[in-house]
Amino acid sequence: MMTFVKASCHCGRNTFKVAFPTASLPIINDACHCTSCRHSTGQLTVIQAGFDGVPLSPETNNPASLSNLTPYKTSESATRWFCSTCSAHVLWQYTAPEVSWCISTGALEKTEGIVKLRYHIFVADTLDGGIADHLRVIDGLEIPRYIARAMKDEVVPLGWRSAEITEKKRSADEDCLSLHCHCKTIQLSITRPSAASTVPSSPYPDLLFPYISTPASKIANTEDEKWWLRPAGVDKPTKYLAGHCACTTCRLTSGFEIQSWAFVPRSNILTTSGVELDLQNERLRPSGLRQYKSSPGRNREFCGTCGATVFWWGEERPELIDVSVGLVDEKQGGVRAEGWLDWHKGRVSFEEDALSRSLVEGLAQGLQASV
C-alpha cells in the first residue's frame, strides 16, 4: 500500500505527488547542516524525505515533468532541482549508491503523520552548532546533534564551538561579514551599523509583534523605533536583529519549513566591488540575482544558478532588507554569526502558519530555553 502526498512550489508551476510506503510512515528523517545544503539553499538547515519511485503528475501515475525546474549539482552523485520562477528547492536526485529521489518537506501538502524529524546531521560544518542549538526537542524527545552522519559519528554537545573559530579572530572584531551562495555567483558583505543604518523606517515585523493579535496602530511603529539595530536603545549598536520564520510564503518559495532572516539596512550591504546594494536599478543589480514577486509589492531574490534564497524586501520599506542567514560564511565565527546577529528568542515569526506544529513548537521552545 502507498500513501500519496501532493507537493508544490509557491508559483504553482511545479506540482507533484510522491509515494510513501504506508507501512513505513512516518518517515524518520534528519535536518542536514552541511555546507553544501546551507549555501545552495540559503537556509540554516535542510529537511528532506526519501520517497518511492519518481515524482508523479498529480492527475496520473505518469512521471511528472521537470521542465520548470533548474538542476544544480552539488556533487557527482547529487542533483538539486529548484523552481526556475520562484526558487523553491523541491527535489533531490541521488545516483549513488543507487538512483533515488527526495522531496523537501516544506513543499509537501502535509507532514503530520508523514515525516518525523529525529536527528541533526553534519552539525560540525556549522562551526557553532547552527540552528541545532535552537531546535533541541520535538514532541518531548531530544534531537541528537551528530558531527556528520547520524548513528555513525559522535554527537556534539549543546553550546559546542569548533576550535577553528575559537582559535581565530572573533567575528565580533571584524569589520565585514561575508555572505555567498554555493556557486559563488552571489557574493556580498555586511558592514557594522552606522549613522546611515538609522535612516530606514519600517513597521514592526511579525517576529516582534504577532500580526494575528497586535493592533495595526502598534504594528505601524508610529514612533519610528529602529528595531533592527541591536542592542536596542544604545548610541552605538553593533548588531542586527535576526529570527526564524514559518510563514507559508517563505516555506513555499524556499521548500523548507524554517526560513531564517537577518534585518539589515541596504546601506550596510555591499557588493563585491564595495558598492552599496541596489535592487531597484536593473543596471546595478548584482549579476545572477533573480527576482520573484511573491505578492504585490513583495520581492524575493535568489541565485539563478544554484537557487539559494538571498533577500526579501518590500516596496514599502526598500531601505531595509531581509537577508537569508544560510549564506553566512561560517568561517568567520559560525553560521549563527552571533558576533553580528542578535537572535530573537521570544517567537518564531508567523508560527501560527506552521505546516508542522511539532517542529515549530520545538523551535520556539528551544529558543526560549537558550535565553
User: What is the chain's pLDDT, residue by residue, as a tens digit (371 residues)?
Assistant: 999 999 999 999 999 999 999 999 999 999 999 999 999 999 999 999 999 999 999 988 899 999 999 999 999 999 999 999 999 999 999 998 899 999 999 999 999 999 999 999 999 999 999 999 999 999 999 999 999 987 777 999 999 999 988 765 555 568 999 999 999 999 999 999 999 999 999 999 999 999 999 999 999 999 999 999 999 999 999 999 999 999 999 999 999 999 999 999 999 999 999 999 999 999 999 999 999 999 999 999 999 999 999 999 999 999 999 999 999 999 999 999 999 999 999 999 999 999 999 999 999 999 999 87
Any alpha helices (H) in the chain, and if so which ranges? 35-41, 163-166, 216-219, 248-254, 357-369
**Burial tier of 222 (Cβ tally within 10 Å: 0-12, 13-18, 19+):** exposed
Question: pTM to 2 decimals?
Answer: 0.96
Domain 2-142 has what CATH class? mainly beta
Q: In this predicted model, what pLDDT tens digit does every residue of 83-130 receive, in sequence order?
A: 999 999 999 999 988 999 999 999 999 999 999 999 999 999 999 999
Domain ranges (residues) in the chain = 2-142, 169-369
Are the folds of 2-142 and 169-369 the same?
yes
- Check: CB of residue 288 under 8 Å from CB of residue 186: yes
Domain 169-369 belongs in CATH node 2.170.150.70: yes
Q: Is the peptide bond before 265 cis (omega within 30 degrees of 0)?
A: no
6-18 pLDDT, tens digit per residue, is: 999 999 999 999 9
Task: Let me know: does 320 contact 54? Beta carbons within 8 Å.
Answer: no
